[in-house]
Every structure is written in C-alpha cells, then in structure tokens.
Amino acid sequence: MSKRDQFASKIGFILAAAGSAIGLGAIWKFPYMAGTNGGSVFIILFILCTLVIGLPILVAEFMIGRRGQSDAVTSFKKQAPRTPWFLTGWLGFILSGIILSFYSVVGGWILSYLVRAIGFKLSSNDENFFAELFGNLTLNAWEVVLAQGAFLLIVILIISSGIQNGVEKASKWMMPLLFVFFIILAIRSMTLDGAMDGIKFMFVPDWSYLTGKTLLLALGQAFFSLSVGVAAMLTYASYLKKDVRLGSSAMNVAWMNIGISILAGLVIFPAVFALGFSPDQGPGLVFIIIPAVFQHIPLGSIFLIIFFILLLFATITSAIAMLEIVVATAMGSKFEKRKKYAWLCGIGIFIIGIPSALSFGKLADVQILGRSIFDFADFFTNSIGMPIGALLMALFAGYQLKRAEQLEELPVKPWVFTIWRILVRYVAPIAIIIVLYQGIKG
C-alpha cells in the first residue's frame, strides 16, 4: 500500500486552498452581486462577513481535516466513532459531485470563449453580438457537452497526478499568474477615461443600500466564496503536516479571496462605467458585458484573451478541490489507485453533468420545482446543501471537539481562541441558519 500524499509546503497548501475558494464566486458572482447591490456598501459588508462568519468556519474545517488525516468520511469516523457525524463527510462528497457537474458546464463555456478569443472571433460592432453568441453557445448541444468534457479532462489529469505533483504544482503556478493577470487588467481598466466613476462606485459608500437584504446577500457571498461546507477545505487540510499553523493559513486564504474579489471589481467596474454600460447587468456580466467592454479598449482582443485565461485558471483551481473530495472519499486508503479513481469519478461527474449542459437547449422544457436542471443543481447546492454542511462543520468543531483538542490544533493567544470559539459555537451557526432559511424561502 502506497503512502498517503501530503502538501510539500505551507505556501503550496495556502495557494491550493485559496484556489478552491477563488473561483467563479469571486470573479463571476462577486462583481454582479456588488453591481446590483450598491457597490461599496455590499463590498464593506462582504469583507466583514468573510472575516466574522466565514473565517471561523474555515478554521473549523481545517481543524477537522488535519486531525483526521483522511478523506472526509473517515475523518469524522475517526474523531466521532459510532456516531452519525460521518454522514457530514458523505454530504460533502455528494455536494461536491453535483457542484462540479454543473460547474464544469460553466468551465466549458469559458473554454469555448477562450478558443474564440485566441482566434480573434470575439470582435463585433453589433451591440447584440455577445448576447446572441452566448445564447447560441448554450443552445449548441455538441459544443457545450464537448467543452464540458474538455474542461473535466484538464481537472482529471491534474488530480490523477496526486497532491504534490498535481494539485500543489498546478496551484503554485496558476494562482500567482491569476494575481499578475488581474493586476495588469485592473491597471488598464483604471486608466480609461471616465474610470473614476467605477472606482467611486466601489469605494464611496451609498448608505441607502445598507439594508437587511444587502447584509444577507453579502453574508451569502462571503460564505459561499470561501468554499466552506462541502469538505473541500477539510480534505485539503487532511494533507497538512502538523507544524503548519491553521489560524494564519486560514487568514491568508480569506484575505486572498477578498483581494481577488476586489481586483475583479477593479477590472470590471471602471471599464463598465467608462464605456457607458450599467453595473447591474446580473449573471451575464462576464459573458456578455465584459467582452463588449473590451471591444472599446485599445488592444482589447489581447486583454480579452488574458481575461478568459485567468477566468479559466480560477475555475480550474476550484474544480480541482471539488474532484479531490470525491476521489479521496471514493479511493479511501487505496492511495495507489488514485489515477483509476480520478478517471472513474471524473467520467461519472461528466455524465451526471450532461443534463445541466443541455438544460438551456434540448432539455430547456425539463423543470424541477420550477427551475431548469442547471438552476436547480445550483440552487440545491448553494442555498441548501452548503449551508447545512457548514452548519455541521461549525457544530462539530465547536461542540464535538473538546477544548483541549481545539487548542492543540489552534495554539493562539487565549483571547483569539475565545473569540474564535464564540464565533464558531454561536454567531456562525445563527448566521448560517438565517442564510439557509432565506435560501429555502427564496
């Protein structure tokens, strides 16, 4: 039996964990959520919610994972034998598979756009061109399914190479490039004539947006953007050595996630305002508005290629975490069979995801509780599954683990530990229950 893999370095783990968190949530969802909810006020609330609610749960998940040194299911079985807590691990397994099944569809769209961008086919003076392009792409059954498969193939190849040679190596070069590309694009966007209106939108608060609804949306964004609740962070932390400090690692991941989200805003909003577009375009912002914005920028075609490359990197790093949870759970202690399980799980998720890929075309008439297959998978995982998963993580770390066990994994100053314990035992669960209620209600 081969030995269980581990991260070779702390920075490798932080970049991999940050990659899991920094996906479409930061680059695609954050800008349109901020754009439709007042900009700066939403951003302030998002930062506060990330640090007060998201960070304590992230630490909790790290704690459970490193203590277990196993896949999610086995970790709970080791730490709470003869109890139903192991079902939390299976919940993460199921949620990760469903998330990756529709997430890979969006990854396929990004690949399709990138291929067109590289071929300089994303250029038109027709203002309806990009809306029609996106509509035609999602209706093209062969292209969306093949692109989804191509995206998953990349992820499978990385996962099959293991933690050090696959996940860690990929994260070590993709994440720094992600930051570099974003900084280049942000500088270009902020130097456009009229860009200051977009910067003001992001950093000068309009307090009329300070409402309960905005707070709830910011809490949901902070919560989901850290990838907590699906055992992704638990699984990554299970490959950690004991000398890595969990508190500082979690803080680094949280700040990197906030940083990329703000950089995404600095790429998008100054350009959107400078060129007369509206910031409240919703989910179509990345695939319809952004390509149109780049049409009006010198060397826009080159910058558009860079944008879709970094969007692809961010999507891949999150997808890696999702597939790793499924593979780690499926293979258990059969570490030598990682490649086999990576392919089996990847192909299985591809098949499960085909209905989501076709839900905008051939299966558009198929509805589940009034939603398309794609939208239902998104709703079920984001609004119900992830909050339940995160609530269970917080309760397990806060109540099932003894104080001495918590201190062993989190050797920080007494007052820091006390604050974390209060947040994870009381504040975070209440906040999660509110998000869960609103998600089911909405």
Alpha carbon distance 254, 252 (integer Å): 5
Q: Evaluate whether residue 48 is within a structural domain.
A: yes
Average pLDDT (407-430) is: 93
DSSP 427: I
- Range with the poorest average pLDDT among 1-5, 22-26, 44-48, 265-269: 1-5
Residue 408, domain CATH: 1.20.1740
More confident position, 311 or 289: 311
Q: Is the dihedral of CA 304, 173, 16, 341 positive or negative?
A: positive
Looking at the predicted structure, is the pLDDT value of residue 283 above 60?
no
Q: What is the pLDDT of residue 321?
A: 87
Task: With cut-offs at 50, 70 and 90, classify the pLDDT of residue 442.
Answer: low
Q: What is the pLDDT of residue 440?
A: 78
Task: With cut-offs at 50, 70 and 90, classify the pLDDT of residue 66.
Answer: very high
Domains held by the chain: number:
1
User: Could you report the per-residue pLDDT of 69-78, keeping only the tens digit for each?
Assistant: 899 999 999 9
Looking at the predicted structure, is the pLDDT value of residue 289 above 90?
no
Task: With cut-offs at 50, 70 and 90, classify the pLDDT of residue 1.
Answer: very low
Q: What is the pLDDT of residue 4?
A: 67
Q: What is the pLDDT of residue 124?
A: 76
34 CB-near residues (< 8 Å, 6+ apart): 42, 43, 46, 202, 265, 269, 279
User: Could you report the per-residue pLDDT of 170-197, keeping only the tens digit for each?
Assistant: 778 877 887 887 888 888 888 888 889 8
Q: Nearest CA to 290 among 267, 323, 317, 314?
A: 267
Looking at the predicted structure, is the pLDDT value of residue 317 above 90?
no
More confident position, 24 or 106: 106
Looking at the predicted structure, is the pLDDT value of residue 380 above 90?
no
Q: Evaluate whether residue 61 is within a structural domain.
A: yes
What is the pTM (predicted TM-score) of this model?
0.88
How do the residues of the chain divide into helix, strand and coil, expressed in percent and rounded to 5?
A: 75, 0, 20
Q: Evaluate whether residue 279 is within a structural domain.
A: yes
Q: What percent of the chain has pLDDT over 70?
A: 97
Q: What is the pLDDT of residue 193?
A: 85
Range of the domain at 191: 10-441
Q: What is the pLDDT of residue 59?
A: 94
Q: Evaluate whether residue 4 is within a structural domain.
A: no
Q: Tokens standing for 377?
A: 């998978």
For residue 363, how far is the Cα from the chain centroid?
Answer: 26
Task: With cut-offs at 50, 70 and 90, classify the pLDDT of residue 342.
Answer: very high
More confident position, 399 or 172: 399
Alpha carbon distance 61, 75 (integer Å): 11
Contact present, 217 and 436 (Cβ < 8 Å): no
Residues in the chain: 442
Q: What percent of the chain has pLDDT over 90?
A: 39
Looking at the predicted structure, is the pLDDT value of residue 282 above 60?
no
Written as one letter, the residue type at 282 is G
Q: Evaluate whether residue 1 is within a structural domain.
A: no
More confident position, 111 or 241: 111
Q: Nearest CA to 311 among 335, 336, 291?
A: 291
Q: Evaluate whether residue 5 is within a structural domain.
A: no
Task: With cut-offs at 50, 70 and 90, classify the pLDDT of residue 281.
Answer: low
What string of H, E and C letters represents the secondary structure of the chain? CCCCCCCCCHHHHHHHHHHHHCCHHHHHHHHHHHHHCCCHHHHHHHHHHHHHHHHHHHHHHHHHHHHHCCCHHHHHHHHCCCCCCHHHHHHHHHHHHHHHHHHHHHHHHHHHHHHHHHCCCCCCCCCCHHHHHHHHHHHCHHHHHHHHHHHHHHHHHHHHCCHHHHHHHHHHHHHHHHHHHHHHHHHHHHCCCCCHHHHHHHHCCCHHHCCHHHHHHHHHHHHHHCCCCCCHHHHHHCCCCCCCCHHHHHHHHHHHHHHHHHHHHHHHHHHHHHCCCCCCCHHHHCCCHHHHHHCCCCCHHHHHHHHHHHHHHHHHHHHHHHHHHHHHHHHCCCHHHHHHHHHHHHHHHHHHHHHHHCCCCCCCCCCECCECHHHHHHHHHHHHHHHHHHHHHHHHHHHHCCHHHHHHHCCCCHHHHHHHHHHHHHHHHHHHHHHHHHHHHC
Beta bridge partners of 368: 371
Give the position of tokens 């209600």.
441
Average pLDDT (217-242) is: 84
Looking at the predicted structure, is the pLDDT value of residue 38 above 80?
yes
Q: Nearest CA to 216 among 424, 18, 41?
A: 41
Alpha carbon distance 152, 154 (integer Å): 5
**Distances 214 to 42, 53, 220, 231 between C-alpha atoms, Å:** 6, 16, 10, 27
**Distances 329 to 149, 323, 324 between C-alpha atoms, Å:** 22, 10, 8
Looking at the predicted structure, is the pLDDT value of residue 431 above 80?
yes
Average pLDDT (314-324) is: 88
Q: Evaluate whether residue 181 is within a structural domain.
A: yes
Q: Evaluate whether residue 394 is within a structural domain.
A: yes
DSSP 28: I
Average pLDDT (327-334) is: 87
Contact present, 40 and 28 (Cβ < 8 Å): no
